[in-house]
């Protein structure tokens, strides 16, 4: 989840200090994901959960009544709902009317978010709650969230009942499954009717269990091991669902209400707000450890390099945290069995404060080996979110060209530090400026800005980044609605300095969104550089973060447009030259597939100059690229991969007959295997040997083995990114066609000849 600039005073804030996030998840899908909303929000944070794997001591005989507890809204939730509606009604880009139609949308979206695959609720359940379908708007206006909680309570009980049934089926009836029967399982259940009875759901889940068991058994896993694996899997899910609390329900419902207005508007509770805001800062205050749940313990998955925990040297990956205390004399609190997000809350804290942890070392077999450690909290930078650079050597006809690559994961900006007057605040544009200066010192001939998977961030940072490559000029237009009556204003770069003026390419894909599209669109409009890759996401709206008494709301305040007047909404930025993109296979990817997305439109273009006659040479660039791509093993392989993914996603059912499923899986694996070997052989690399799909228990139990040990003698062959390599070749062509050919850094052919001579002399 990408984050956006936090606005302390949104009413008077500069429009370019707004958030421009990509689309959120369309639905959370399964209840245990919903129950861990913090883990969902903190997927890129320094304390996050990679997988739901907690398994508390569940009783041998499971009882739904002992696991279920009805949840009710707290008074602050009702006040927050009223405040949220007021913010949406007065500040959203589009007029918002809270009426029966809105209520119906909220009702449907809420059910879709909870049980979009129709796995838990029956038609009679829907009938029982259907009387509130048209009145949720009135309840919200009155701050009454009881209807939403009643819906969730029913859903929560049904999920517990279903998981208890599933565990009991796996542990007592798994051997009754007939893998020779000619059955199928529907893959996409979004549009299927609600189950008419519990018996119909039983049959659906029998097939789901059969599919899971069959998939595992096809790897060679014995059925007793299959039963053990599935039992643990569903018991883990049951454990997490049982930990659901009223905060989860409130966050889920308020987020649904907000997203009903448009897909990029959302509500964040105080806890989720902190996780959300960390991403833009690129830092947090804590100990610098990634945590996960394992059985009833909170386990250290990884230490962040340079963080307080790593520097202290007392905490190791694999250690389990069983107690937490604050300060020198705070009481040690037992956290065994506690939800991960609650443990995270206790570990995070202000810079300079002390936290004491009761640690069970990874090698310890009982709590007898526990020990206490103390760590001083500090600011932890999430370095994987920051811009980075490398020098790529591209071989063209035995000539080597040095191409600089800047990878930018997000448009980050530490607004809080900047507002406090600190001079060393984090900024993506500032970091890229420094990297460009370094690349120039490295004598690169061209630069690729890699924005693949960059979902956006600060609009101001996108504006600043464009300014590094152009003289002064407009970069983006913003259209306001509501109180500003559709007023359009352009923003741009007032600094005539150009940090880098050489050949430039911007590499994007379908996951490049928002601020990425502003940057790519401006570079394309100015004809300052060439845009390569896949069609971008298509998010052309601007959001602002507005603090509330309890949490914050991210709402759409305006739309942005390219300087050419075209919106990126829905359509995104179309590359000048298209590269294979795996997201082509995901038909639901992109703004145009989101319910309630604002429409595409245009405004008047602004005056701007162009830097190069790129449109004149694009046809020739495309022709040269296509000629290479047709014979390039990597491009042929990527194209084939996309085609196979599209073919697989078009399947509507999964066979539950062992022979049919095995034949389908073998065919899929063989096609991918043969395609990869063809690629390797064409590149002169060692081909792989075909191996049947087998289950290796020793390999599974060895997952914690280190893969990056300095003492390891194994060296994996790292292949270069073919899309970056081709980007470099396109830039070499572009420079030549523009009349300023690049100078090769050296002749790779001569070097190879010299090496061959040395090898012969050694012999």
Please give the domain boundaries of the chain with CATH numbers for all domains.
64-261 (no CATH), 283-381 (2.30.42.10), 386-634 (3.90.226.10)
Give the pairing of strands 378-381 and 283-286. antiparallel
pLDDT of residue 281: 61
Query: Could you give the angle at the alpha carbon of 267 between the alpha carbons of 465 and 155, nearest 5°?
Result: 135
Residue 202 among the catalytic residues? no
Helix (H, G, I), strand (E, B) or coil at 62: coil
pLDDT of residue 500: 97
For residues 655 and 218, the answer to whether their CB atoms sit within 8 Å is no
Phi-psi region of 636 (alpha: psi -120 to 50; beta: other; left: phi over 0): alpha
Enter the pTM of the model. Answer: 0.80
Reported as type and span, the H/E element at residue 419 is helix 415-419
Q: What is the pLDDT of residues 53-70, one digit of tens each?
A: 334 455 566 889 989 999
| Torsion angle (degrees, nearest 10) of CA 116, 118, 124, 127 | 20
Supply the Cα-derived Rg of the chain in whole angstroms. 28
Residue 261 per-residue DSSP state: H
Q: What is the pLDDT of residues 342-399, one digit of tens each?
A: 888 889 888 899 999 999 887 776 676 788 999 999 877 666 779 999 999 999 988 9
Measured distance CA(200)–CA(197) in Å, rounded: 5
Residue of 144, 248, 431, 525 marked catalytic: 525
Measured distance CA(707)–CA(44) in Å, rounded: 21
pLDDT of residue 17: 38
Helix (H, G, I), strand (E, B) or coil at 494: coil
Is the predicted pLDDT of residue 418 greater than 90, yes or no? Answer: no
Q: What is the pLDDT of residues 303-353, one digit of tens each?
A: 877 788 888 889 988 888 989 999 999 999 888 767 888 888 889 888 899
Measured distance CA(110)–CA(401) in Å, rounded: 54
Measured distance CA(728)–CA(503) in Å, rounded: 10
Residue of 103, 266, 389, 514 marked catalytic: 514
Residue 525 among the catalytic residues? yes
Mean pLDDT value of segment 592-615:
92
pLDDT of residue 487: 86
Q: What is the pLDDT of residues 681-716, one digit of tens each?
A: 999 999 999 887 666 555 554 443 333 333 333 334
Q: What is the DSSP string of 322-342?
A: EEEEETTTPPPEE-TT--HHH
Query: Could you give the angle at the alpha carbon of 499 between the alpha carbons of 494 and 503, nearest 5°?
Result: 115
Mean pLDDT value of segment 489-496:
93
Query: Could you give the angle at the alpha carbon of 118 between the alpha carbons of 117 and 122, nearest 5°?
Result: 175
Residue of 539, 554, 567, 733 marked catalytic: 539
Reported as type and span, the H/E element at residue 479 is strand 473-480
pLDDT of residue 695: 60
User: Does 656 or 11 have the greater pLDDT score?
Assistant: 656
């Amino acid at each position: 989840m990408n984050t956006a600039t936090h606005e302390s005073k949104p009413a008077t804030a500069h429009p370019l200090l707004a958030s421009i996030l990509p689309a959120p998840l369309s639905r959370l899908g399964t209840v245990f994901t919903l129950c861990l909303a913090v883990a969902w929000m903190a997927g890129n944070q320094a304390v996050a959960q990679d997988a739901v794997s907690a398994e508390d001591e569940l009783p041998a005989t499971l009882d739904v009544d002992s696991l279920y507890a009805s949840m009710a809204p707290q008074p602050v939730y009702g006040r927050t709902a009223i405040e949220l509606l007021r913010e949406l009604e007065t500040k959203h880009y589009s007029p918002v009317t809270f009426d029966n139609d809105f209520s119906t949308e909220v009702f449907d979206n809420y059910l879709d978010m909870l049980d979009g695959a129709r796995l838990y609720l029956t038609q009679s359940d829907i009938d029982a709650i259907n009387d509130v379908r048209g009145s949720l708007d009135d309840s919200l206006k009155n701050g009454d969230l009881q209807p939403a909680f009643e819906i969730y309570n029913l859903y929560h009980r049904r999920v517990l009942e279903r998981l208890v049934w599933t565990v009991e089926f796996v542990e007592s009836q798994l051997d009754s499954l007939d893998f020779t029967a000619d059955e199928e399982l529907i893959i996409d259940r979004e549009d299927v009717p609600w189950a008419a009875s519990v018996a119909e759901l039983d049959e659906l889940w029998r097939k789901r269990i059969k599919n899971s068991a069959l998939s595992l058994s096809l790897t060679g896993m014995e059925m007793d091991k299959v039963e053990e694996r599935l039992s643990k899997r569903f018991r883990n899910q049951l454990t997490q669902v049982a930990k659901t609390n009223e905060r989860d329900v409130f966050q889920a419902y308020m987020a649904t209400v907000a997203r009903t207005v448009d897909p990029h508007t959302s509500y964040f509770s105080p806890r989720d707000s902190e996780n959300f805001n960390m991403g833009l800062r690129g830092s947090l205050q804590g100990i610098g450890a990634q945590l996960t749940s394992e059985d009833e313990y909170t386990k250290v998955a990884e230490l962040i390099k340079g963080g307080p925990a790593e520097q202290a040297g007392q905490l190791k990956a694999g250690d389990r945290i069983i107690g937490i205390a604050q300060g020198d004399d705070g009481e040690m609190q037992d956290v065994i069995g506690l939800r991960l997000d609650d443990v995270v809350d206790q570990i995070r804290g202000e810079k300079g404060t002390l936290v004491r942890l009761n640690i069970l070392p990874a090698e310890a077999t009982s709590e007898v080996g526990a020990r206490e450690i103390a760590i001083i909290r500090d600011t932890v930078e999430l370095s994987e979110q920051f811009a980075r650079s490398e020098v790529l050597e591209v071989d063209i006809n035995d000539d080597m060209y040095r191409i600089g690559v800047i990878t930018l994961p997000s448009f980050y900006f530490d607004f809080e530090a900047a507002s406090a007057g600190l001079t060393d605040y984090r900024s993506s544009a500032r970091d890229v400026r420094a990297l460009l200066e370094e690349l120039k010192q490295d004598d690169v001939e061209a630069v690729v800005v890699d924005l693949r998977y960059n979902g956006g961030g600060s609009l101001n940072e996108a504006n600043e980044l464009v300014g590094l490559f152009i003289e002064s000029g407009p970069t983006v237009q913003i259209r306001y609605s509501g109180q500003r009556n559709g007023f359009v204003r352009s923003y741009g770069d007032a600094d005539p300095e150009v940090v880098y003026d050489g050949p430039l390419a911007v590499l994007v894909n379908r996951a490049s969104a928002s601020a990425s599209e502003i940057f790519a669109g401006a570079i394309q409009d100015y004809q300052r550089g060439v845009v390569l890759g896949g069609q971008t996401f298509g998010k052309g709206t601007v959001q602002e973060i507005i603090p509330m008494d309890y949490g914050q709301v991210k709402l759409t305040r305006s739309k942005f447009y390219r300087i050419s007047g075209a919106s990126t909404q829905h359509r995104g930025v179309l590359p000048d030259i298209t590269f294979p993109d795996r997201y082509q296979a995901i038909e639901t990817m992109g703004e145009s597939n989101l319910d309630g997305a604002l429409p595409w439109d245009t405004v008047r273009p602004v005056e701007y100059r162009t830097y190069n006659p790129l449109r004149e040479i694009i046809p020739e660039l495309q022709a040269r690229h296509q000629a290479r791509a047709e014979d390039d093993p990597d491009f042929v392989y990527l194209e084939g991969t996309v085609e196979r993914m599209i073919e697989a996603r078009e399947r509507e059912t999964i066979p539950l007959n062992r022979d049919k499923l095995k034949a389908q899986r073998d065919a899929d694996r063989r096609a991918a295997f043969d395609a990869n070997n063809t690629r390797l052989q064409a590149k002169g690399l060692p081909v792989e040997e075909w191996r049947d799909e087998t289950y290796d228990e020793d390999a599974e139990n060895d997952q914690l083995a280190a893969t990056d040990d300095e003492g390891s003698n194994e060296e994996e062959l790292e292949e270069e990114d073919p899309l970056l390599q081709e980007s470099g070749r396109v830039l070499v062509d572009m420079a030549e066609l523009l009349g300023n050919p690049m100078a090769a850094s050296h002749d790779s052919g001569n070097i190879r000849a010299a090496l061959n001579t040395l090898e012969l002399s050694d012999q």
